[in-house]
Amino acid sequence: MEKVSLFIPCIVDLFLPEIGEATVHLLRRVGVDPLYHEAQTCCGQPAMNAGYREQAKRAAKHFIDLFGDDDVIVSPSGSCVYMVKHHYPQLLRDDPVWLRRAEELSGRIFELSQYIVDILGVEEVGASFEGTVTYHESCHILRGLGVSDQPKRLIRRAEGVEFVPLPLADMCCGFGGEFAETYDYISEEMVKEKVESYLESGADLLVLCEPGCLLNIDGYLSRNHPEKKALHIAAFLAGTGRGG
């Protein structure tokens, strides 16, 4: 039996643990009982993005030590998967031993919807939702991992769902980690436009796969359009209703 290991990013751990729980429930429902390394912390993305490479390297080495023996790693965050897959080998390129470990790992880590559809070959996960649903294409998931069709298939297969397109779905929502705080006046305009697209789509619900985008979009909705919701795909599919 393959060892499927759960990687719960720090944002989910702290602010959105319901997404982590929904991920566990969902995986169990499709026949995978994931293990969870309790010593996991953060993938290092904040340090990497801020230019602190030595500090990001410490996170990378900790991660590789912890997850190095797992057959498959699954995470409900595309940007963190991208960090591990793409940036770890870059960060560790001057150290042949660590580089090899990073490269080996990069082929075994998957974003949640990608894992369910591409690896397990499952699209019907027993989800249901009465209403129209649209999907936001998070940058790191779409352009970083090339994942776009997988989550949409899972959404479409949910019972009772009518999928409607989101205008400018692949336009960045303006999160960008520290960017949202430092360049607040730009970030605000970006998230505002994203939400306008959501309203324009007429959908009852916006689903996405990236916790960062979720904090941003749902944070904006909660302040300005409290009647509308954004939901992480794990919570949507598991039917737990929370996770956004």
Query: Closest distance between another protein and the C-beta of residue 161, in Å?
Result: 20
The terminus-to-terminus CA distance of the chain in angstroms comes to: 33
Instruction: From 106-114, 149-157, 174-182, 228-236, give the range in contact with another protein by CB under 8 A.
Output: 174-182
Q: Which of residues 1-60 bind another protein (CB under 8 A)?
A: 8, 12-17, 20-21, 24-25, 28-29, 33, 36, 38-42, 44, 46-56, 58-59
Nearer to another protein, 49 or 132 (CB): 49
Query: Closest distance between another protein and the C-beta of residue 25, in Å?
Result: 4
Q: In whole angstroms, what is the distance from residue 229 CA to residue 220 CA? A: 10
The binder of another protein chosen from 102, 109, 127, 180 (CB under 8 A)? 180
Nearer to another protein, 107 or 223 (CB): 223
Q: Is 230 in the site for another protein (CB under 8 A)?
A: no
Q: Is 81 in the site for another protein (CB under 8 A)?
A: no
Task: Using the structure block, give the residue that is written with the tokens 């939400």.
Answer: 195
- What are the backbone angles phi and psi of residue 240, rounded to the nearest 5°? -80, -20
Binding mask 114-153 for another protein (x = CB under 8 A): -------------------------xx--xx---------
Which regions of 71-151 does DSSP assign to beta strands (E)?
72-75, 109-111, 128-135
Q: Is 78 in the site for another protein (CB under 8 A)?
A: no
The binder of another protein chosen from 108, 153, 157, 192 (CB under 8 A)? 192
3-state secondary structure 18-62: HHHHHHHHHHHHCCCCCEECCCCCCCCHHHHHHCCHHHHHHHHHH
Q: In whole angstroms, what is the distance from residue 205 CA to residue 210 CA? A: 15
Distance, C-alpha 47 to centroid of its chain:
18
Q: In whole angstroms, what is the distance from residue 221 CA to residue 223 CA? A: 5
Binding mask 85-104 for another protein (x = CB under 8 A): --x--x--------------
